[in-house]
Amino acid sequence: DAGIGDLILRGGYYILEENPGLFDLTLTGKVKFPTADENKGLGTGEFDETLGLESSKRIMKKWILFVDFYYTFIGSPPGTTLDDRKAFDVGFSYQPIYELTLSFFYDFSTPLLEQHSSPQDVMPYAEYKATKRTRLFVYGLLGLSDGSSAWGGGAGASVRF
């Protein structure tokens, strides 16, 4: 089925930031609001909360490497017990011009149900800096395992304070 997915509110705090952006370590938090249609199988109908560490390392003027780790407390719908999720991703970004960043990630996470396989995905991602604090982004998703969605994508905006 297709439709609107869950909305996510995300925040972060820089723990370590080397100038000029040579290495960054960020503590992140996310809350998933259950806005997806659970009757279509697009969501659980429950809130999820995530804590994570995100790191980035500039390796050349226009290239950045990423390694991120997350732990998600999964909300279980009535009658179902879902396992909390551990996840990591690795990837790189290329910045052809200051306003545009093109990224590619590999993502792995533990399954929500023990009998399922672990989700594994690749995700191309593009971000445009519309202003100093506002960014627009679009991404795609291609599942690599039986535990993943076959494909997906999205778009959004972020504002930094």
Per-residue model confidence as pLDDT tens digits over 105-139: 999 999 999 999 999 999 999 999 999 999 999 99
Tokens of 18: 């080397």
pLDDT at 54: 96
Strand order, beta sheet including 85-97: 7-17, 23-33, 48-60, 63-73, 85-97, 100-109, 120-129, 134-143, 151-159
**pLDDT tens per residue across span 36-83:** 888 887 888 999 999 999 999 999 999 999 999 999 999 998 888 999
pTM above 0.95, yes or no: no
pLDDT at 101: 97
CB 154 within 8 A of CB 5: yes
CA distances from 38 to 24, 75, 119, 159 (A): 37, 13, 20, 29
Closest C-alpha to 28, from 53, 55, 56: 53
pLDDT band with cut points at 50, 70 and 90 for residue 20: low
CB 50 within 8 A of CB 72: yes
Burial class (CB in 10 A: 0-12, 13-18, 19+), 72: buried
Tokens of 83: 């396992």
